[in-house]
Structure 1
Amino acid sequence: MNTNSNAYTIIYASVMVIIVAFVLAFTSSSLKDIQTKNVELDKMKQILSALQIDTKGQDAEALYKTYIKKDQIIDTKGNVVAEEGGFYNVQSEDKLSLFIAEVDGQTKYIIPLNGNGLWGAIWGYVALDADKNTVYGTYFSHAGETPGLGAEIATTGFQEPFKGKHIKKDGQVVSIAVVKPGKTADGQEYVDGISGGTITSVAVQDMLKNNLKDYTSFLTK
């Protein structure tokens, strides 16, 4: 009896281990799917924010499908590599994401931005009018900039002044400068940086310049 009892115990334990492992794997997979979906929705909201579209209380995915017509992949020469897939594409030396939107019947181009702030990554999107020159809107965010200082790049107060600025001069991409309040920039249009957040302000300036540089061929075609 003891032998049989021990055998049954071992079998029961083994079965329970398998069941628990299955449940954990299923739960992990389900959570991963949810997390992936949340990341995708957040990205859609960021892109829409650059287009000045409020997603609060709205179906962000439906809005994204309404306004975003293409998520292309282009190369550094401005040629289209793929008509879709840019949403998932990681920026590389020869493959760049480009989002094409239509707002009130007007074409907008959205370019993703990535850079480094004072304490970690910063990122965002810049939306341009059909002339590939005039800023229609921007979105900036960060991983861990200082609250009340560098973190202000994520506020409308910092982002609004970029609207209507131009990234080109005499047909060349020169980007937009971010300067200390009261200062100016030669050869570029500019916006005021954040008082006390100089390093993060300069980081946004560098992020814009470095990322737009990769799109020079597309922007000057």
Structure 2
Amino acid sequence: MDRNSNAYTFIFSIAMVLVVAVVLSFLATSLKPMQSKNVKQEKMQNILNTFVGDSLEVDGKKMELTRVLASEKFDEYIKNQYTLNYKGETVEGVEAFNINLATEIKKPVDEQNFPLYEAQYNGQSYFVIPLRGSGLWDAIWGYVALKQDLNTIEGVIFDHKGETAGLGAEITTDWFQERFKNEKIYDGNKIVGVEVKKGYSGGTDKSDHQVNAISGATITGDGVTNMMKERLSKYKPFFEKLKNSKLAIR
């Protein structure tokens, strides 16, 4: 066949498209188990990070909380995993770790499952709650660990899909996330979460339910505010059951 002909060019193009498609399909299939493993380990790392920080002491040595280390230590610190309904009742047959919040929050509230992790670390109890909401451009998410009083924040971790570098993306930084430590989520008997407030002047006050916003990232900050309040409030029925049965402090 004449290599300069239109027919040759057309056939060659189709052949290349098919070859590339087969190669990409093969790579996607081959790498999927590894990708799934990485996602699982990263999730464990994020959950543990909220109450152990970014390092762990292992055999007397301080080690960075990597994804691999987190997967090895996860079951040691996470003592219980609950799947709850909107009434705060446990749901059987649904594993908390496997719940996809991106899908779950699209359902009516009375059809949603709410994952919750109970942890023990250095003699203290914590409850870790997954978060998900909307930033300026796309989804934001994270985890918040509450101390055993079910009111005081031990730590948070946030992430995003497409916030602006140097602005909204700063929610992933340690200096921003550290502002939430020891903040309270209850105002009286109502869960209000923590407001990311522009022009905040409260300093280190941990009783006003507010932290200073990121300059130039008002909408992303509002997204964090709304995400925390909306998600945390869904756990109030369960928290009240724990308090009433005196299971919050063990």
Please report the TM-score for the alignment, with normalisation by the length of structure 2.
Answer: 0.73
Secondary structure in structure 1 of the residue aligned to 2:184: coil
1:35 & 1:29 partners in 2: Cα distance? 10
Quick check: 201-210 or 167-176, which moved more? 167-176
Deviation at 1:29, TM superposition (A): 3.8
Quick check: 201-210 or 28-37, which moved more? 28-37
Whether the 8 Å CA contact 1:175–1:212 is kept in 2: the answer is yes
For the pair 1:73 / 2:91, whether they are aligned, the reply is: no
2:155 to 126, 134, 137: 137
2:114 & 2:165 partners in 1: Cα distance? 31
Question: What count of residue pairs does the alignment treat as equivalent?
Answer: 199
Secondary structure in structure 1 of the residue aligned to 2:52: coil
Deviation at 1:87, TM superposition (A): 0.5
CA distances 1:130-184 after superposition (whole Å, capped 9, x unpaired)? 1111001000011111111111100011110111011002222121111013356
Match of 2:118 in 1: 100
Deviation at 1:56, TM superposition (A): 3.6
Q: Which structure 2 residues correspond to residues 1-221 of structure 1 after superposition, within 5 A? A: 28-54=28-54, 55-56=65-66, 59-82=69-92, 85-91=95-101, 92=104, 93=109, 94-183=112-201, 188-221=208-241
1:166 & 1:179 partners in 2: Cα distance? 15
CA distances 1:85-119 after superposition (whole Å, capped 9, x unpaired)? 10001343331100111111211000000011111
1:122 & 1:57 partners in 2: Cα distance? 20
Deviation at 1:27, TM superposition (A): 5.7
1:136 & 1:50 partners in 2: Cα distance? 7
- Which is greater in Rg? 1
Secondary structure in structure 2 of the residue aligned to 1:59: helix
Please, what is the CA RMSD of the aligned residues?
2.4
Whether the 8 Å CA contact 1:173–1:219 is kept in 2: the answer is no
1:57 & 1:87 partners in 2: Cα distance? 16
Deviation at 1:26, TM superposition (A): 7.2
Secondary structure in structure 2 of the residue aligned to 1:71: strand
CA distances 1:180-213 after superposition (whole Å, capped 9, x unpaired)? 13356xx951110101111111110011011112
Change (3 A) 1:188 1:122: same
Whether the 8 Å CA contact 1:127–1:135 is kept in 2: the answer is yes
Unpaired stretches in structure 1, ≥5 consecutive residues? 1-20
Quick check: 149-158 or 76-85, which moved more? 76-85
Identity %: 41
Unpaired stretches in structure 2, ≥5 consecutive residues? 1-21, 55-64, 242-250
Please report the TM-score for the alignment, with normalisation by the length of structure 1.
Answer: 0.82
2:183 & 2:172 partners in 1: Cα distance? 18
